[in-house]
Amino acid sequence: MSQDIAATLPKNIKVKKTLGQIREQNTAWLLTLPAISLMVLFLIGPIIAIIALSFTDWQLGMTTFSWVGIDNYVELKNDGAFWQALKNTLLYVSIVLPFSVVGGLAIAILIESRPSGKGIYRTAFFLPVMGTLIAMSIVWEYILQPDFGLLNMILAKIGVDGKNWLNDPETVVYVLAGIGIWHQLGYNMVLFMSGLMAIPKHLYEAAEMDGVPNGWSRFSLITWPMLGPVTLFVLVISAIKAFQVFDTVEVLTQGGPGKSSEVLLHLMYVEGFQFFRTSYAAAITVIFLFIVLLITVIKMRFMEKKVHY
């Protein structure tokens, strides 16, 4: 009976908005308009400008330019320095991302499991995040100095020969990745600690009553699933920050030796502000943005299936 009545009703019924609803909607748009304007001005606008610039021959300081189509991208395809920078960037990210995420989680769990002294350990691990990476890179330059650096001095004490860490093409990317892990650990630790503190205690109490032993079993059954949203956020943020490596490369190696530590952001800087090839640097920027966006989307699509909210 009810189905017959529903079938007789018109399917497309336009509900007229009252004057109050229209005013409320207009007010909402007015309130969000400043934020939307700023987003367009500082985020969407520059992206559109960079994409357009990559199809020109404009150089820094020029008053005119010409459209060159995809010439900059064709040059990128044949540029060995670009492919070397892309390879180094991907290698850097593949090292920093897993170690900083797993390390941050492990440190957070270890600190939270301590009965006392949590504040001291939190501060100690978070200190590298508070300092600027440029200043920290100068400190690392002295630590890695081949003649009187702290690292080689320690190795000499235990009978191991030191080396010129920043001038060895085989080790320089791994050294930079180690610095990146060190700098990122504290940030990831804080995020995971916030997630750990949000897990209801009664879940562990219920697991104990059900006979679930301590350690790995509770972690795999309770902690890890409940940390799903935090882990997804940490993975995405850590990947983006790893792709943005620039400071340590500029301070410590300038992309050397022989482009063996060149990364995408530093290559953009060199092409745009040292060689003044602004349109070519814009093309590198577009490729960089596409790679970061693609990896972020893939991570979110993959992780959403495994996240428990």
In contact, 232 and 195? CB cutoff 8 Å: no
**Residue 67 main-chain phi, psi, to 5 deg:** -80, 130
Residues near 166 by beta carbon (within 8 Å), at least 6 away in sequence: 141, 144, 172, 175, 252, 253
CA dihedral 204, 209, 210, 211 (to 10 degrees): 90
Asked if pLDDT for residue 72 goes beyond 60, the answer is yes
User: What was the pLDDT predicted at 42?
Assistant: 84
Buried-exposed string 64-75: b where 16+ CB fall within 10 A, e elsewhere: eeeebeebbbee
Predicted model pTM: 0.85
Give 71-304's CATH code, choosing from 3.90.1150.10, 2.40.128.20, 1.10.3720.10, 1.10.10.10.
Answer: 1.10.3720.10
For the purposes of burial, counting CB atoms within 10 Å of the CB of 176, is it exposed (0-12), middle (13-18) or buried (19 or more)? buried
User: What was the pLDDT predicted at 304?
Assistant: 64
Residues of the chain with CATH 1.10.3720.10: 71-304
Mind listing the pLDDT tens digit for each residue in 144-190?
998 889 999 999 999 888 889 999 999 999 999 999 999 999 999 99
Q: How confident is the model at residue 309 (pLDDT cuts 50, 70, 90)?
A: very low
Asked if pLDDT for residue 7 goes beyond 70, the answer is no
Asked if pLDDT for residue 3 goes beyond 60, the answer is no
Q: How many CB atoms lie within 10 A of CB 259?
A: 15
Using DSSP, state whether 67 is helix, strand or coil: strand
User: What was the pLDDT predicted at 24?
Assistant: 80
Distance CA 178, CA 17 (A): 60
Phi and psi based region of residue 254 (left: phi greater than 0; alpha: psi -120 to 50; beta: remaining):
left
Residue 56, strand partner residues: 67
Mean pLDDT, rounded, of the chain: 87
Distance CA 245, CA 128 (A): 15
Averaged pLDDT for residues 58-77: 89
Distance of CA 175 to CAs 3, 144, 251, 252, 286, Å? Answer: 71, 9, 13, 10, 28
